[in-house]
Each structure stands twice: as structure tokens, then as C-alpha cells.
Structure 1
Amino acid sequence: MGYAEVNGVRLWYETHGDGRPLVLLHGGFGAVESFAPILPALAARRRVVAVDLQGHGRTADVDRPLRYESMADDVAALIRHLGLVGPDVMGYSLGGAVALRTAIQHPGLVRRLVVVSAPCRRGGWYPEVLAAMVAQDERTAERMRGSPPHELYARVAPRPWDWPTLWAKTAELLRREYDWSVEVAALALPVLLVFADADEIPIRHAAEFFGLLGGGRRDAGGDGGDRPLSRLAVLPGLTHHDIVGAPALPAVALPFLTHGLRPPG
């Protein structure tokens, strides 16, 4: 574990386990600890590289806005800095968007991609979730003091007083429109989409996202030969907030990352 200097950011990362590398990217206001409940299962099969993104966890903020695109470039630079060959990338929520942008912006760098509870366009969130995002600001940061995310941040952040700044920057990020549908449809690597059945993202968007990747368009046939390279999993009894620590997540992710995939047709 330690820091890597990439793109002007001192990026914190931790390595656990052995095998093919799997880069883990946490959600908003999280850190590598977000994956603690499932890390042993993942590290038993993979060399896990868990990262604290800009302004989160042990990675101090820098003088630039929070953007999915710049954080994706940070992840790509870390992969190259560490000399990771054929890494897979798995991200949750904010980290899912960053993971997706990493694959889009750096074709050929990522072998397989797992996107957990993240839409491919801003309109993929439920309207009430978008409304809550727009309402976030520094006052929200004050109300969140004493919450588990704040307690973790206060314990590990190099500058704990940046907590309101993180909320302000995140709010500005979440207000920005985006639609990556065209870029998603052009992806050539296998992607696993994972959503909770009571997620902040409706199942109809999960189906739309999967359709962009070639899924849900036809019957796979008796021998499964017409199945797409990408996969969709909807995990029952979970929400946007507890899916990241659920045993069902590594249970669907590891087979996708480990087993061979038969090309369609």
C-alpha cells in the first residue's frame, strides 16, 4: 500500500491477494474500506488493487474539479505506473462511472469491466435521486458530520477539514449532464452490469444500458451461442447502499472475471 504520483494527484492504493489484477473503485464519499465486507472473497482469487479517488479517503484533493473523465485518467495512469498487465476494473456508483470512463477513454487497457449501480447517462437515475443530488451542498456536509462516511473521512483523510469541499465539488459534478450511450455502444470489451432490484437506478435503465452492450436483443439459442459478451445481473433484496458489501456481488463478479466468454454468433 502507498501513494502513486499520477497526473498531479497523490493517489492512495492498497494491494491484496495474488493473481490477475482487479482494480476496485469506491463510491462517492467512500474509500477502499467501502469494499471491506467483500475484499476477502475477491482477494482469494485476484490481486486486488483498491484505490482512493481524488479527494476521497487517503487521497487529498487537488486544485481541479471532480470529473469522471479526469479520475478515469488517474486510474489509467495508476495502472500503467504499477505495470498492471490485462487488469480488470470494478467500480461502484461514482467508481462505476469512473471505471466506465476508464474503459472508454483508454481502449485496450482494461480486459473486463464490472459496473455496479451506475447509469450510463445522468437521466438514468430516478428523478427523486437527481433532485437530492442537486440539493447537496456544504450545508449537507455539516448535516452529515458524525455519519459513518464522515467518521471514516475524519479518520483517514490527510486534510479532514476538506469535508465540506468534497461535498461542494461532488454536488457540482452531479449537476452536470452527461450521456455516454454512443461510447458505451462502441465498447469492445466484456462488461458486467450489476444493479440492486431496489437501486437508485430503475431496472428499465439497466435494461437500456445492457441493450447498448448488445444484450437483451435475441434468444441465446439452445447452445447459448448467440449470447452477448456482456452480462447483466440484478441482485434481489438489495439497495444502492448495501449492494457494495453484499456477498452476492463477488458471487456474480468473480465467475464473470474468471471464466472464458464465448463470442456471439
Structure 2
Amino acid sequence: VQHPEAVRRLVMVSTGYATNGFYDEMRPQQAQVSAAAAPFMKDTPMYKSYVAVAPHPDDFPRLLDTLGAFMRNERDFSADVPKLKMPVMLVYGDSDMYKPEHEIKFFQMLGGGQK
């Protein structure tokens, strides 16, 4: 969070704090995300949601390039997680791309519900 003073509450959906939290089989799939995948995603919920709200729906391929570049890079924000002072709600699904133990560790780093 670049400006934590501007955030009263934070909801994070299907979000991890480090790349090692993904299931191993997700990493090769993430490496393939790029603008080249855009034509194949026209019938996906992600594409339909994007074009419903995006001011420039034709930028969807650019979004995929940006997401792909982000997902190909290693990252670990574990040192920053405890600095989040606002209430944080973590939301995961039972078929999420993050390992349950990663989700639990994230919850614990936020104070384990004790804030």
C-alpha cells in the first residue's frame, strides 16, 4: 500500500504476499500470460468483467502483458505485511491458486485476527 493513511479498510481477494505461495503447477501457466492469449480469453469471465467496466476495453491485451510480466517476477512482501495497520479481510476460494498454508501464514502475519 503506497499511501496507507488513505486506506481505512482493505479487502484482498485471491492475493498472496509471495510467489512461493502459488501451487507449483500454477507457475508455468502464469508464465504464458501475455497479449498473445487475448483472443483465447474472449469467452472468459475475466474478459467479460473487464470489458464491462474498462474505459478502454481494447486495452485488454495490454493488461495481459502487464499481468504476465508481474506474475513472471519473483516477489516477497512478507516484511511489509505486518506494517498494514488497517483492518484487512482476506478472501480465498476452495479452488484458489494459493496453497492453504500460504493463506494461513498471511492471516498470521496480519495478526491472526487479534487486531
User: TM-score, structure 2 length as denominator?
Assistant: 0.80
- Secondary structure of residue in 2 paired with 1:162: helix
Matched residues in 2 for 1:154 and 1:194: separation? 24
Q: Is 1:113 aligned to 2:16, yes or no?
A: no
Aligned structure 1 segments of 4 or more residues deviating by more than 6 angstroms: none
Q: Report the AA paired with residue 181 of structure 1.
A: S
Matched residues in 1 for 2:51 and 2:8: separation? 35
Deviations 1:41-97 (A, max 9, x none): xxxxxxxxxxxxxxxxxxxxxxxxxxxxxxxxxxxxxxxxxxxxxxxxxxxxxxxxx
Assess, with a 3 A threshold, how the Cα gap between structure 1 residues 177 and 154 changes in structure 2: closer, same or farther: same
| Structure 1 unaligned residues grouped into runs of 5+ | 1-100, 216-226, 230-265
Greater relative contact order: 1 or 2 (C-alpha under 8 angstroms, separation 6 or more)? 2
- Secondary structure of residue in 1 paired with 2:16: coil
Matched residues in 1 for 2:59 and 2:3: separation? 30
- Which one of the candidate residues 188, 193, 197 is aligned to 2:90? 193
Q: Which structure's residues are more often helix, by fraction?
A: 2
Q: Report the AA paired with residue 39 of structure 2.
A: E
Other-structure match for 1:228: 114
Give the superposed CA RMSD. Answer: 2.2
Once the 2 structures are TM-superposed, how far is the Cα of residue 158 of structure 1 from its aligned partner?
A: 4.3
How many residues are matched? 115
Q: Report the AA paired with residue 212 of structure 1.
A: M
Assess, with a 3 A threshold, how the Cα gap between structure 1 residues 185 and 144 changes in structure 2: closer, same or farther: same
Matched residues in 1 for 2:87 and 2:58: separation? 40
Matched residues in 1 for 2:13 and 2:51: separation? 26
Higher Cα radius of gyration: 1
Assess, with a 3 A threshold, how the Cα gap between structure 1 residues 193 and 172 changes in structure 2: closer, same or farther: same
- Secondary structure of residue in 1 paired with 2:92: strand
Once the 2 structures are TM-superposed, how far is the Cα of residue 200 of structure 1 from its aligned partner?
A: 1.2
Q: Is 1:203 aligned to 2:100, yes or no?
A: yes
User: TM-score, structure 1 length as denominator?
Assistant: 0.39
Q: Which structure's residues are more often strand, by fraction?
A: 1
Assess, with a 3 A threshold, how the Cα gap between structure 1 residues 120 and 152 changes in structure 2: closer, same or farther: closer
- Secondary structure of residue in 2 paired with 1:164: helix
Q: Is 1:132 aligned to 2:18, yes or no?
A: no
